Amino acid sequence: MALRTWKRSGFTLIELLVVIAIIAILIGLLVPAVQKVREAAARTQNNNNLAQLGKAVHNHAGTYNTKLPVDSKSIITTSGTTSTTRTVSIFYQLLPFVEQDNVYNTGSTATIVGPYTSPMDWTQNGGAVTNFAGNSLLFSAGKNGRLPASFNPNGTSNTVMFANRYGLCNTTTVLWATTGSTTLFIGTALPQFGVLVGNCNVTLAQGFNSTGTGVCMGDGSVRSVSPAVTLATWTNVNNPANVNVIAADWQQ
């Protein structure tokens, strides 16, 4: 007698449900891991841009006889055969030192400048914003600062030069070319940490999450500020004329 063969036509409903459940679990495990990788990459890029700003300031000082860029400074730029006098921000003056000579010469202030932005900022809407603020005790109009003389006695390694900020803060869009808003005395109050909507204060430094924020010191090093920092310590580390011992509570 011939044996009858049985041919399976497909999966049962239970088997399909088990497969779907396994896939869902794997996705649930994968998504947080991918998010962490993206956050780490964004934080690295943010810190790289901070470091690039620090290097740009040092190169500016090396080119202009130790002078720091000064906010609201009148400069003459030449594009082709046309010379134009402009009153510009510190970030405008740093353009040639972040490989943006063409923007500097043409005065294209609506241009998005990569080193002036942070991928950690979820508020960006494509405008020519900056996610960084310079310390006004170093760069504000009338300071005419020099490197390293302007960092005395606190020292370049103990003085914040740039800090993070939101590009869209409350209802204010912070543009890199706008004089008067690219420098802040960022030590007057503690940084704001986390996702901010209506309570974002455009006069303060900000951290894009609740775990800390990045700063560039006067020596060009990049450090992470702890949310546990006290106002006294934060003020001291932002004041070039500080003579107090800086507590260790500000760094992560």
Q: Which residue has the higher pLDDT, 158 or 8?
A: 158
Q: Where are the domains of the chain?
A: 38-250
149 Cβ partners below 8 Å, 6+ apart?
66
Query: At 249, is the pLDDT very low, low, confident or very high (cuts 50, 70, 90)?
Result: confident
Strands (E), the chain: 73-79, 82-88, 132-135, 160-164, 168-169, 172-173, 183-184, 192-193, 206-207, 213-217, 222-225
Out of 9-13, 160-164, 187-191, pick the least confident.
Answer: 9-13
Arithmetic mean of pLDDT, 159-188: 94
Averaged over 209-219, what is the pLDDT?
A: 95
Q: Cite the beta strand spans of 50-141 per DSSP E.
A: 73-79, 82-88, 132-135
How many CB atoms are closer than 10 A to CB 25? 10
Spatial contact of 119 and 36, defined as CB atoms under 8 Å apart? no
Distances (CA, A) of 192 to 23, 28, 221: 40, 31, 22
pLDDT for 1 beyond 60: no
Of 87, 100, 88, nearest to 56 (Cα)?
A: 100
If one counts every other C-beta atom within 10 angstroms of the C-beta of residue 213, the result is 25
**Per-residue confidence (pLDDT) for residue 14, from 0 to 100:** 80
* pLDDT tens profile 98-151: 999 999 988 999 999 999 999 999 887 778 999 999 999 999 988 889 999 999
Task: Please list, residue by residue across 123-133, b when 16 or more beta carbons sit within 10 angstroms of its beta carbon and e when fewer do.
Answer: bbeeebbbbbb
The torsion of the CA quartet 12, 14, 17, 22, rounded to 10 degrees, works out to -110
pLDDT at residue 4 is higher than 70: no
What's residue 15's pLDDT?
74
Per-residue model confidence as pLDDT tens digits over 5-56? 555 556 687 877 777 877 877 777 766 766 776 888 999 999 999 999 999 9
Taking all residues of the chain, what is their mean pLDDT, rounded to a whole number? 90
In Å, how far from its chain's centre is CA 38?
16
pLDDT tens digit string along 49-97? 999 999 999 999 999 999 999 999 998 877 777 788 889 999 999 999 9
For residue 163, give the DSSP letter: E
Measured in residues, the chain has a length of 252
